[in-house]
Each structure stands twice: as structure tokens, then as C-alpha cells.
Amino acid sequence: MKMLVVGSGGREHALVWKIAQSPRVKKIYCAPGSAGIARQAECVDISVGDIPSLARFAAKESIDLTVVGPEAPLAAGIVDEFRKSGIPIFGPDRRAAEIESSKSFAKGLMRVNSIPTAAYWVFDEYNQLESFLKGTKYPVVLKADGLAAGKGVAICGDRDQAMALGHAMMTEKVFGEAGRRVVVEEFMTGQEVSIIALVAGDAVAVLEPSQDHKQANDGDEGPNTGGMGAYSPVPAVTEPVWQRIERDIIIPTVHGMNREERPYFGALYFGLMLTPAGPQVLEYNCRFGDPETQPLMMRLETDLVDLLEASLKGTLGDSALSWHDGASICVVLASGGYPGSYKKGLPITGIEEADEMEDVVVFHAGTTKSDDQWRTAGGRVVGVTARGSGIADARDRAYEAVKKIAFEGMRYRTDIGAKALI
């Protein structure tokens, strides 16, 4: 088979790495890919936003299956475009992708289907938001309705902060059109967990739980980032919690999408909070998680290509997933200054040495290579991912590998997976 992966980050590297292990795959392309991804795939210089060129490339090369990493091309209708031309692609169409690209659609879906989530209010006019904020209890969570690259959400501790942010979103348009409508949510507490399901209409294959670490600093302090590390499985998801998630959240979401006449095909990500009242949905994403995909692909034993193909053929429901015993963990090494501004082009040492360790893979998120020298090229630079007999073992191994890598200003969290060991 010939495969095409769309994207260039750590998540796409993990997908490419896993796909490359399938004996059925003869050739993998990645658009645009990266120097790290180039070890397993031929990189094609087409950006993720250039949907017509991606479709032309897939048609010309007779790609058997395309997998899309990031949300933006899905929200922009890449799946609709490929389907129009009869090119096989794994992902939701534009209307189904609204489960991520419109928070008000997602909240409405949850309300109609009684899916547990925080209470919420939707505002299209700033003066209505302002009068609501004058009368509500704090903290509250403010969310831009549309896609804002993970930056459109803030927990506001008081009225002044909430009003300033609401004004910035709705009047000053700091997130452009994405912030024209604002969703206010009740504040929830608890551990967060990520569940990714492969979905094809009614059929669902749920991957094992994982946990992201969104804040920049140890102890969940500091600003939100794209994710500083992840591990799987998550001991906080006990068997009864798992059953509730499946019965009260996953199944009603999938059925709800069918009833909306937006049947879901592709990876569906449930960002959950395990609150004292049970698991509640924080958000949906219309794609695989980043960095959750890195530890998940290291643990998944089943051939990913078989699963993706079963989704397209309508046989996903028969799929049995098998996993390597133990656990896996990914520690993200970020540029100094991330998620704010940071330098690029700094030389990196030790990547090969870390990669050579047993059961360790360095997934590249933002690197370049020239004259045999790796250099930084993004906020999140690499995700050092290790598998072990359990979380403690995987963690020791990952941090041992991290010690081999260095670049100026390199920073990372030292407590990835720590919650699982309490």
C-alpha cells in the first residue's frame, strides 16, 4: 500500500513511525513532513493548507490511504475534497469536524444527548457577555467559539480579567473570527484524561487512555501549551470509570453525530475531566492528540494500517486492539521561552544517542537538519518517548534518554507521569 500522512509535527512523526512497521506498506509520503519524519517517509513539499495540491498529489500517486494530523485542514474540508475525487482518506468531513471547530456546536451536541459537561452560556454580543459577567460567580472559563490554535481558552479568576478577555475576543478580535462568539463555562476540577477513538459511523474502536500535561511548568503551573508530555495507560481511569466514559460519553457522542446527520469518520478525541461527580467532557478534537499519539503509537501492537483500513471498509467494529504490556511516556523538550517567543536554529546534540536506547524513540516536532547537524525549528522540539514495564520504568527510561539531549535554553517538565505514581 501507498500511504500519505498530512502534517509535520510530533504526532505525525509517531503516525508515520507506526505505519512504517506495517508489512503491508510499501511507501509512505508525508506532506510537508520534516527532517525527522524523512527517516521513515518521503517528504513532499505541500503545506497542510493547500488542499487542492494535496488531492492532486494523492490522485497522481494513487495513494491508497491518506491520514490527516492537524485540525485546520479537516475543518477546511480536506476530507470532502478527497471524497469528491474518490480518493480514500481517514478523517471527518467539514461538518463533522465542527465537533472541534465550533465549541457552541459541540456544547449543543452534549446538551441534546445528555453528555456530562460543564454548564455553559453562549454570547454573540459583548454587552450581553458583560452583563452576564457582572452577575456570575468566579472562576469561570472563557472560550473563543472557533479554532484559536489552543490559545482561545482562559480560566478567569475575577470579573475584571473575564471582561478584559471577553472584550479582547469580541471587540478587539484578537482571535479574528474565532472569537466573535464566546462560550462561558462553569469551572470544573479534577484530573484530565484524553481518550481517542477510531470511529466509522456507528462502529468504534477506543484506544487506551492517555494523559497530557498542558501547562508549561512542573506542578501544572504556568501558561497553557500545546502539551509538554503524555503517558498511557492512566491508572485514574479505573474499570468503572472506563465503563462510564464509554456508556455516558463515547457512545452517545457517536450516536448523536449520526442523528445530526454528521456521521463521524476518523479519530475522535475526547478531552475529559474526572470530576468528583464523574467524567465530564472538556472538549472534543476531530483528530489524534499531540503529544498523546506519541506514547499511544509506542504501545499499540495492532497494525495501525489494518485499523485505518477497517474504518474505511466498515469493518472497524470487528477490530480487536492489542497493546504492549506496561506503559509508555513522552517527555517534550521545548525551546527556552515557549509558549512565548523563542530562538530557532540552535544546534541540538545527543538525538541519535537517545534514539539508540532500547525502547526509546525520539519523535521530532520542530527540528531541521543541515550538514548532519540537527537544529531547533519550533517551540516543541522533540518528544522523547519510552516504553517500560510500568509507568515508573517507562519514566526512568524517558528521563535517562532526555539527559543525553541538549540545546541552548532547552526546557522540559520533570513531572510527566508523576500523577500516575501517587
CB of 184 to ligand AMP, least distance (A): 9
192 binding partner (options ligand AMP, ligand GLY, none; Cβ < 5 to 8 Å by kind): ligand AMP
Cβ within 8 Å of residue 321, ≥6 positions away? 205, 207, 300, 302, 307
Nearer to ligand AMP, 119 or 421 (CB): 119
Which of 249, 276, 221 has the alpha carbon at shortest distance from 116? 249
* Closest by CA position to 143, among listed 172, 182, 98: 182
| Contact pattern from residue 273 through residue 292 relative to ligand AMP, giving x for each residue in contact according to CB under 6 A and a dash for the rest | ---------xx---------
Position closest to ligand AMP via CB: 283
Cβ neighbours of residue 41 closer than 8 Å, sequence gap 6 or more:
5, 16, 20, 28, 29, 30, 33
220: left (phi over 0), alpha (psi -120 to 50) or beta: left
DSSP 148: -
Distance CA 23, CA 36 (A): 21
Q: Which of 93, 98, 185, 309 binds ligand AMP (CB under 6 A)?
A: 185
Q: Is the peptide bond before 339 cis (omega within 30 degrees of 0)?
A: yes
Contact 195, 250 (CB under 8 A): yes
Nearer to ligand AMP, 34 or 285 (CB): 285
Could you give the C-alpha distances from 130 to 125, 179, 194, in angstroms and in order?
Answer: 9, 15, 33
Based on the shown chain and the rule CB under 6 A, indicate whether residue 188 belongs to the binding site for ligand AMP.
yes
**d(C-alpha 179, C-alpha 184), whole Å:** 12
Q: Please name every residue paired with 123 in a beta bridge, in sequence order, or none if there are none.
A: 182
Taking CB under 6 A as the binding criterion, the range among 182-190, 340-348, 363-371, 391-399 that sits at the site for ligand AMP is 182-190
Q: How far is the CB of 172 from ligand GLY (least distance, A)?
A: 25
Site mask for ligand GLY (CB under 6 A), range 277-296, x = bound: --------x---xx-x----
**Residue 359 makes contact with ligand AMP by CB under 6 A:** no
Select from ligand GLY, ligand AMP, none the partner in contact with residue 292, using the beta carbon and a kind-dependent cut-off of 5 to 8 Å. ligand GLY
Nearer to ligand GLY, 267 or 307 (CB): 267
Which option in ligand AMP, ligand GLY, none does residue 227 bind, with CB closer than 5 to 8 A by kind?
Answer: ligand GLY
Nearer to ligand GLY, 73 or 166 (CB): 73
Task: Give residues with Cβ within 8 angstroms of 40, minimum separation 6.
Answer: 16, 17, 20, 28
153 scored as a contact of ligand AMP (CB under 6 A):
yes
For residues 54 and 226, is the Cβ–Cβ distance under 8 A?
no
Residue 153 contact partner, candidates ligand GLY, ligand AMP, none, CB within 5 to 8 A by sort of partner: ligand AMP
Longest C-alpha distance within the chain, in Å?
61
Q: For residues 184-243, which are near ligand GLY according to CB under 6 A? A: 212, 227
**Nearest CB to ligand AMP, comparing residues 196 and 386:** 196
Instruction: Please select the residue that binds ligand AMP; options are 46, 67, 118, 216, rule is CB under 6 A.
Output: 118
Tell me which of ligand GLY, ligand AMP, none is bound by residue 93, counting a contact when its beta carbon lies within the kind-specific cut-off of 5 to 8 angstroms: none
- CB of 102 or CB of 285, closer to ligand GLY: 285
**Which residue of the chain is nearest ligand GLY when measured via CB?**
289
Beta carbon nearer to ligand AMP, 115 or 118: 118
Strand partners, 284: 270
Separation between Cα atoms, residue 322 and residue 381, nearest integer Å: 30
Query: Residue 407 and residue 342: Cα distance in Å, rounded?
Result: 13
- Residue 236 one-letter amino acid: A
Taking CA atoms, 244 is separated from 17, 274, 317, in Å, by 33, 11, 20
Residue whose CB is less far from ligand AMP, 38 or 241: 241
Residue nearer to ligand AMP on the CB measure, 157 or 340: 157
Residue 187 in contact with ligand AMP, rule: CB under 6 A = yes
* Of 259, 273, 300, 306, the residue nearest 385 (C-alpha): 300
Q: How far is the CB of 269 from ligand GLY (least distance, A)?
A: 6
Chain positions contacting ligand GLY, by CB under 6 A: 212, 227, 285, 289-290, 292
What residues make contact with ligand AMP under the rule CB under 6 A? 118, 141, 143, 153, 155, 185, 187-188, 192, 214, 271, 282-283
